[in-house]
Amino acid sequence: MSYGFNKGNSVALEYLKEKYPGEKFLYKKSPTFVSTDKAFEVKRLYNTKIIINQKQKEMLEKTDPIILLVEANTIVDSFKWSEIETRPYEVVLNKIPENISMIRIPENVKERLLRYGKPNETPSNIINRMLDVVESEIKEDNY
> Which pLDDT score, from 0 to 100, does residue 75 have?
96
Mark whether 121 and 60 lie in a shared domain. Answer: no
Mark whether 63 and 22 lie in a shared domain. Answer: yes
Mark whether 113 and 86 lie in a shared domain. Answer: no
pLDDT tens column, 57-78: 999 999 999 999 999 889 999 9
- For residue 39, being part of any structural domain is answered with yes
Mark whether 78 and 113 lie in a shared domain. Answer: no
CA distance 72 to 55: 26
Mark whether 20 and 80 lie in a shared domain. Answer: yes
Range of the domain at 132: 107-142
Mark whether 80 and 27 lie in a shared domain. Answer: yes
- For residue 67, being part of any structural domain is answered with yes
Contact between 52 and 91 (Cβ < 8 Å) = yes
Calculate mean pLDDT across residues 76-100: 89
Mark whether 12 and 74 lie in a shared domain. Answer: yes
Mark whether 22 and 72 lie in a shared domain. Answer: yes
- Residue 41 phi/psi, 5° resolution? -115, 125
CA distance 130 to 115: 12
> Which pLDDT score, from 0 to 100, does residue 1 have?
45
pLDDT tens column, 5-38: 788 899 999 999 999 999 999 998 778 999 999 9
Residue 97 confidence (pLDDT) above 80: no
- For residue 25, being part of any structural domain is answered with yes
- For residue 1, being part of any structural domain is answered with no
Nearest to 71 by CA among 41, 105, 39, 43: 43
Contact between 20 and 10 (Cβ < 8 Å) = no
DSSP bridge pairs for 34: 26, 39
CATH at residue 40:
3.40.1350
Domain count of the fold of the chain: 2
